[in-house]
A and B are shown apart, each in its own frame.
Chain A
Amino acid sequence: MDKIKITIDNKPITGRAGMTVLEAAKMAGIYIPTLCYHPALTPFGACRLCITEIEGMRGFPTSCTTPVNDGMVIKTNTPQLQELRRGILELTITDHPYSCITCPTNGRCELQKVAANIGMKEITLPYIYKKRPTYRNDPFFDRDYNMCILCGRCVRICHEVRGATAITFTQRGIKTVIGTAFGRPLQESGCQFCGACVDACPTGALTERAREWAGLADRDVVTTCPYCGVGCQLSLQLKKNRIIEVLPHEKNEVNRGQVCVKGRFGITEFVYHPQRLTTPLIKRNGKLTEASWDEALNLVTSRLANYHKDEVAIIASAKCTNEENYVTQKFGRAVLGTNNIDHCARLCHSPTVAGLARVFGSGAMTNSIHDIGEAACILIIGTNTSESHPVTALEVLKAVRRGAKLIIINPREIELVRFADLWLRPRLGTDVPLLMGMARTIVDENLMDQAFITERCENFDAFKKSLQNFTLDTVTQITGVPKDKISEAAHIYATNKPASLLFAMGITQHSHGTDNVLAIANLAMLTGNIGSPGSGVNPLRGQNNVQGACDMGSLPNVFPGYQQTTNETVRQKFEAAWDVSLNPTQGLTLTEIFDAAHHKRIKAIHLIGENPILSDPDANHVRKALETLEFLVVQDIFLSETARLADVVLPSASFVERDGTFTNTERRVQRVRKVIEPIGASRPDWWIICQIARGMGGKGFDFENPSQIMDEIAHLTPIYGGINYRRLQKGGLQWPCPTPDHLGTPILHTQLFTRGKGRFTPLQYRPSAELPDKTYPLVLTTGRRLFHFHTGTMTRKVKGLNTLLNEGLVEINPIDADALGIVDGDILKVISRRGEVPAKARVTEWSPAGVVYMDFHFAESSTNILTNTALDLVAKIPELKACAVRIEKSHHR
């Protein structure tokens, strides 16, 4: 990069081309007062405080907008500048309630800092009270625009970084005020309630309501968000050992100062919620009653000891830490003697793990979240990224702002479509033909990366042959996507390098989910989009630690680090380490476990922090299976729908009450830190498991803390070999990280694929298992929403999130709605072959005709009563994304 030599306040400084004078000064430790500047935003030049004198330039250029030039001589602090700044500040503050300058309520007010630096003169100007509006009824934060200095940081962050454009400048001149377009309420203006504006505001104009009177924090601790797989780093603000606010952490590679509404505002309330489980519960006479830890643990150990190893199963948790998952599977394998261990990853990305492991050798995101911002093209298929992975979506926006091409493939209209160059809307379940059609165009028009294919891949010819079945005519007929759009998508993806491909459950939750994943892998290899920055095949993982739970072997076929249970050498290694003999047979998958329970082959289940009654397909079947069990143990922080069925409920500590690590979607292992003592008698899950394991005579469960567990993980798991808590203190590490001096791996398959060569797979089109017919004429597809998480166990405890959304909605296209005489807000019955649920209608073109959409956050509209358990043969994932339904209007409203 071009080095540029400048002088600031007589100090020689070397800057880089493209830097502003302000950035150069900051780098050199020279303070220039600013108000409208924000490091994440394009310069604005409005507050005028950052003025400087620059030799050869007229007037007083603002340092935040002026790029450095070689040889520039800059003065930042002459008496005239300071005098001018005082004048400007005085003008800024005529606008401001005077008392604010000394107001102590908001420790982050930059106006106070600036005033302290340049000194306020006695205010002589006429006082101007603008009578601007204040808003105190929106969820989470208050807006008092009388304290606003119109720096525009909130507006710019909302537009530039979040892409929400919820707020804007309204009116002009002295009447200028920040507001929503047409004065609509925030909730109707596209606000995501991410709080980015609150964090960007340099004054007390925007404040989080819950912390307004909490005073200043006395310490802060960085930890990892417990909601989704993005793994945002949060800075917990504590006062007298109570969390008073949760802020986005700035200096990290994942979220860089951004979070979503759940991480920002959705934590404190559930942590301190009165419904937290604070004591063990034992079912006596059909009722769960309080019990002591000794009682509860004795009951669990004695009952579990009664079952044969093939009669028990463990359902682990993608919400729990790596350490907890490690001891859980160790408990199952070494103490209970079974491989019947699985968790909800089965329902989200098992086809990814299976498919990518087969053709690449590793089933995780190949590149990093931050890397997406570098792409020249982004293909987004089967993910509603802004709702499910909100902070990852910000990287997409960043790339788009830099000029990257964006292609969306989704039957539903999603938020990101607004930013897309091209949107393909295939019929549900026709991804394989569509992707094969694109591949065929690329091959036919010779747009592929021949060198990459020859040098790094295998089985291309077989794949090429399988393309024969996918002429554009055929593909258009199956998918409903016009030919020219398919070929345009192929062109854009193949010719804008590097291209990054993002996908999630819209791809995986199908009876042909593994085929979908393989089609994606084919396309990426065909264009050489693997192994370099800005490219890649990037599955976005759902739960905070679903990646880690898989890594730790909470799966029926692998030990930690994807080491096969059926592999003799591997098993011997673990037998030696754990000092037991291990069961060589592969265990049952999640869906198989419930089937086996149904048939009384599985008699006892130990379930940790999951809520399958809401999250798993054919929920009535799951409920019956659990009711059929002889013994069910549930560990959770709340009495979930599933926990209510348990014989013993053990209260878990929440993520702020225990140490550990989560591994986010980009394979980054990050610390979770204990900041408060467990609520009531709740205990960390690792502690609970170890107690039970020891109670059943298990050896090697004497850990004093999770750090020791991580050391054991590192010892037995090559991809985690170099990870320990001392290193994680400095920030996360991306696996593979085999040795203590290895820096981690941001991009996989850079030289060779993990398995050696990337393997092309010939594919065929297989339709969804359940297609619409006369009785069930519509297709139901399911997904998640920004304001809630998973089955709502945590988010539904947060008042503001419930204000934003508190009921299950069925999204239905106006055409279908008209045909059925349905209007917005009608109460409907959605009926499938497996059951029926009530939900309210939302008539919207976001759903294509013939398709209805529901989320699964609400027990009252338990969507998964409807969904189909038809399985993908390879990954055993059920077809959650497509089943046939019928809709009827309910009579009562």
Chain B
Amino acid sequence: MPEKQIVLKNCQMINPRDINTYLARHDFKALAKAQVMEPDEIINEVKASGLRGRGGAGFPCGSKWEAARNTPGDEKYLVGNADEGEVGTFKDRYIIENDPFTFIEGITIAAYAIGAKQSYIYLRSEYHRLRNLLENAISQAKDKGFLKHVKIDIREGAGAYICGEETALMDSIEGKRGEPRYRPPFPTTKGLWGNPTVINNVETLMNIPNIILNGAQQFRQIGTERSKGTKVFSVSGDVAKPGVYELVLGSKLRELVIDLAGAETVKMVQIGGAMGRIVSSTMLDTSLSFETILGAGGVIVYNESRDTIDIVLRTMEFLNKESCGKCSPCREGTEAMVKILQKFAGGRGTPKDTGLLEELSSTMMLASLCGLGQAAPFPVIDSLQYFRHDYESRIK
């Protein structure tokens, strides 16, 4: 079976409102172990594990920490990114709802390793109801003396998808209008208020206690060449059993959507949400890994009854609405794409329009400032590749 519970192993097993149920299983042992290690040792362990970021970009976690640790400065920050604004993605919500303690333990270890005395959890505004649960967990951890070296504060987003992007997120924490910043400098050298900052996805941090306790070698044992460990997916759409699944990296798409989630008559699958990739039913044997397709873990299944143009248009409308408006390729490009897709949706496409979509895609992917604009054309390109006839049949 490709399923394996590492990240989710405490879910449903503990009472998320009571730290004692967590301690009964773990006792913050990973933190205790980490605190007798040198920060550099911890970082080396995380590097050796091959853990890559679970927020979508897949950046090696240990290298990120190392960069922040090695940048001179007394003030450093760690941010747990719980913005989870991606369409069809709800795995971080599930994690926090069920096991806030591993998340917190992960934060304490990361903060210790990079030398951050202050950390933030950046919580999606729609997840406001989780705030109380998290605060409760933080204060229990504090009462038990686990937060002596780092303060954890919660910052809520303002409902903007772009604020999940790490640099816009920092603007938002700083109280500014959340807009992506150019890189370099990267957050690890110049982040919050100009200080070295590590931003990690919730799931990334969930892996840390396990790596520290059981060692990098054990963690590396599962997964593929360049994708170690497991990945948590949230599956939705035309499936019998929507929900959250944790699979060994490298598992097949088919195992997730057919075997586990019980999908039938699949037409296409959108992997990684609005900014993700679209695959057709002929590609269900594709493996899920950083080498192939992965994203942040949102998987949406569409069956034969669904209309390609409708799906792509709705995705593009979402991205257009969520574009921050800073750079012209994305701001204007998503708008132009929506306009053109509307023509197809109304059966008024022209032969030139598909070419135009491809040209626009290229400009946006190559010239946009941040990941949103760079990835926004994916649904268009992928659907043009696998479902071109759906466009051509809408040309007047």
A residues neighboring B (CB under 8 Å):
43-48, 51, 59-60, 62, 65-67, 84, 87-88, 91-92, 94-95, 124-126, 128, 149-150, 152, 168-169, 171-176
Inter-subunit contact A94/B182 (CB<8 Å):
no
Inter-subunit contact B356/A124 (CB<8 Å):
yes
> Is B10 in the interface zone, CB < 8 Å from A?
no
Mark B279-316 against chain A: 1 for CB-CB distance below 8 A, else 0: 00000000000000000000000000000000000000
Interfacial chain A residues near B320, Cβ < 8 Å = 173-174
Chain A binder among B136-144, B266-274, B323-331: B323-331
Inter-subunit contact B331/A173 (CB<8 Å):
yes
Interfacial chain A residues near B255, Cβ < 8 Å = none
Inter-subunit contact A176/B325 (CB<8 Å):
yes
Inter-subunit contact B322/A46 (CB<8 Å):
no
Min CB gap A504→B, angstroms: 33
Interfacial chain B residues near A62, Cβ < 8 Å = 182
Min CB gap B189→A, angstroms: 11
Interfacial chain A residues near B362, Cβ < 8 Å = 84, 87
> Is B392 in the interface zone, CB < 8 Å from A?
no
Q: How far is the CA of A245 from the CA of B336 in the complex (A)?
A: 39
> Is B363 in the interface zone, CB < 8 Å from A?
yes
Residues of B contacting A: mostly: helix
Inter-subunit contact A46/B369 (CB<8 Å):
yes
Mark B129-171 against chain A: 1 for CB-CB distance below 8 A, else 0: 0000000000000000000000000000000101000000000
Interfacial chain A residues near B368, Cβ < 8 Å = 48
Min CB gap B83→A, angstroms: 16
Given A84-B363, A169-B177 in contact, is the A91-B332 Cβ separation under 8 Å? Answer: yes
Inter-subunit contact B352/A150 (CB<8 Å):
no
Apart from A44-B182, A91-B360: 5 A-B pairs, beta carbons within 8 A: A51-B367, A91-B329, A95-B332, A173-B331, A176-B326
Inter-subunit contact A149/B325 (CB<8 Å):
no
Q: How far is the CA of A134 from the CA of B121 in the complex (A)?
A: 41
Q: How far is the CA of A437 from the CA of B289 in the complex (A)?
A: 69
Given A126-B339, A128-B336 in contact, is the A173-B367 Cβ separation under 8 Å? Answer: no
Min CB gap B274→A, angstroms: 14
Inter-subunit contact B331/A48 (CB<8 Å):
no
Inter-subunit contact B335/A172 (CB<8 Å):
no
Interfacial chain A residues near B359, Cβ < 8 Å = 87
9 example contacts (A-B, Cβ-Cβ < 8 A) are as follows A47-B327, A48-B368, A94-B332, A125-B336, A125-B360, A171-B325, A172-B162, A173-B323, A173-B334
Inter-subunit contact B336/A45 (CB<8 Å):
no
Interface Cβ pair total, 8 Å cutoff = 105
Interfacial chain B residues near A172, Cβ < 8 Å = 160, 162, 322-325
Q: How far is the CA of A45 from the CA of B179 in the complex (A)?
A: 11
CB-based nearest A residue for B327 = A46
Q: How far is the CA of A168 from the CA of B360 in the complex (A)?
A: 29
Interfacial chain B residues near A149, Cβ < 8 Å = 328
Q: How far is the CA of A47 from the CA of B367 in the complex (A)?
A: 9
Residues of A contacting B: mostly: loop
Min CB gap A123→B, angstroms: 11
Q: Identify which of A59, A88, A152, A176 contacts B363 (C-beta below 8 A).
A: A88
> Is B366 in the interface zone, CB < 8 Å from A?
yes
Inter-subunit contact A48/B336 (CB<8 Å):
no
Inter-subunit contact A95/B328 (CB<8 Å):
yes
CB-based nearest A residue for B362 = A87
Inter-subunit contact A48/B327 (CB<8 Å):
yes
Q: Identify which of B325, B328, B363 contacts A169 (C-beta below 8 A).
A: B325
Q: Identify which of B160, B323, B328, B335 contacts A47 (C-beta below 8 A).
A: B328
Min CB gap B348→A, angstroms: 12
> Is B213 in the interface zone, CB < 8 Å from A?
no
Given A43-B182, A66-B184, A87-B362 in contact, is the A174-B367 Cβ separation under 8 Å? Answer: no
Q: How far is the CA of A66 from the CA of B369 in the complex (A)?
A: 13
Inter-subunit contact B356/A60 (CB<8 Å):
no
Interfacial chain A residues near B324, Cβ < 8 Å = 172-173, 176
Q: How far is the CA of A733 from the CA of B66 in the complex (A)?
A: 52
Q: How far is the CA of A441 from the CA of B371 in the complex (A)?
A: 55
Interfacial chain A residues near B367, Cβ < 8 Å = 48, 51, 60, 84, 87-88
Inter-subunit contact B369/A91 (CB<8 Å):
no
Given A48-B368, A66-B184 in contact, is the A91-B328 Cβ separation under 8 Å? Answer: yes
Min CB gap A585→B, angstroms: 63
> Is B39 in the interface zone, CB < 8 Å from A?
no
> Is B396 in the interface zone, CB < 8 Å from A?
no
Mark B333-369 against chain A: 1 for CB-CB distance below 8 A, else 0: 1111001100000000000100010011011001111
Inter-subunit contact B352/A124 (CB<8 Å):
yes
Inter-subunit contact A91/B333 (CB<8 Å):
yes
Interfacial chain A residues near B356, Cβ < 8 Å = 124-125
Interfacial chain A residues near B321, Cβ < 8 Å = 173
Inter-subunit contact B366/A174 (CB<8 Å):
no
Min CB gap B170→A, angstroms: 15
Given A67-B184, A168-B177, A173-B331 in contact, is the A91-B336 Cβ separation under 8 Å? Answer: yes
Q: How far is the CA of A46 from the CA of B368 in the complex (A)?
A: 8
CB-based nearest B residue for A149 = B328
Interfacial chain B residues near A175, Cβ < 8 Å = 325
Interfacial chain B residues near A48, Cβ < 8 Å = 327-329, 367-369
CB-based nearest A residue for B319 = A173
- List 8 A-B pairs, minimum CB-CB distance, nearest first: A176-B325, A45-B182, A87-B363, A91-B332, A65-B182, A173-B323, A126-B339, A92-B328
CB-based nearest B residue for A177 = B325
Min CB gap B157→A, angstroms: 13
Inter-subunit contact B323/A174 (CB<8 Å):
yes
Min CB gap B156→A, angstroms: 18
CB-based nearest A residue for B160 = A172
Interfacial chain A residues near B336, Cβ < 8 Å = 91, 94, 125-126, 128
CB-based nearest A residue for B179 = A169
Min CB gap A97→B, angstroms: 14
Mark B353-390 against chain A: 1 for CB-CB distance below 8 A, else 0: 00010011011001111000000000000000000000
Inter-subunit contact B182/A128 (CB<8 Å):
no
Min CB gap A148→B, angstroms: 11
Inter-subunit contact B335/A174 (CB<8 Å):
yes
Inter-subunit contact A59/B323 (CB<8 Å):
no
Q: Identify which of B181, B334, B352, B363 contacts A174 (C-beta below 8 A).
A: B334
Interfacial chain B residues near A92, Cβ < 8 Å = 328, 332
Q: How far is the CA of A168 from the CA of B179 in the complex (A)?
A: 13
Q: How far is the CA of A173 from the CA of B162 in the complex (A)?
A: 10
Inter-subunit contact A46/B363 (CB<8 Å):
no
- Of the candidates B182, B322, B332, B334, the one having the most CB atoms from chain A within 10 angstroms of its own CB is B332
Q: How far is the CA of A126 from the CA of B349 in the complex (A)?
A: 12
Q: Identify which of B325, B352, B363 contacts A173 (C-beta below 8 A).
A: B325
Given A87-B362, A88-B367 in contact, is the A46-B328 Cβ separation under 8 Å? Answer: yes
Min CB gap A350→B, angstroms: 45
Q: How far is the CA of A91 from the CA of B376 in the complex (A)?
A: 15
- Of the candidates B179, B181, B336, B367, the one having the most CB atoms from chain A within 10 angstroms of its own CB is B367
Q: How far is the CA of A79 from the CA of B336 in the complex (A)?
A: 24
CB-based nearest A residue for B352 = A124
Interfacial chain A residues near B332, Cβ < 8 Å = 91-92, 94-95, 128, 174
Min CB gap A132→B, angstroms: 12
CB-based nearest A residue for B368 = A48
Inter-subunit contact B328/A173 (CB<8 Å):
no
Interfacial chain A residues near B334, Cβ < 8 Å = 173-174
Q: Identify which of B184, B323, B363 contacts A91 (C-beta below 8 A).
A: B363
Q: How far is the CA of A66 from the CA of B184 in the complex (A)?
A: 7
Q: How far is the CA of A47 from the CA of B331 in the complex (A)?
A: 11
Interfacial chain A residues near B369, Cβ < 8 Å = 45-46, 48
Interfacial chain B residues near A59, Cβ < 8 Å = 366
Q: How far is the CA of A51 from the CA of B182 in the complex (A)?
A: 12
Min CB gap A697→B, angstroms: 71
Q: How far is the CA of A583 from the CA of B160 in the complex (A)?
A: 79
Q: How far is the CA of A792 from the CA of B327 in the complex (A)?
A: 45
Q: How far is the CA of A167 from the CA of B356 in the complex (A)?
A: 36
CB-based nearest B residue for A80 = B366
Min CB gap B82→A, angstroms: 21
Min CB gap B315→A, angstroms: 15
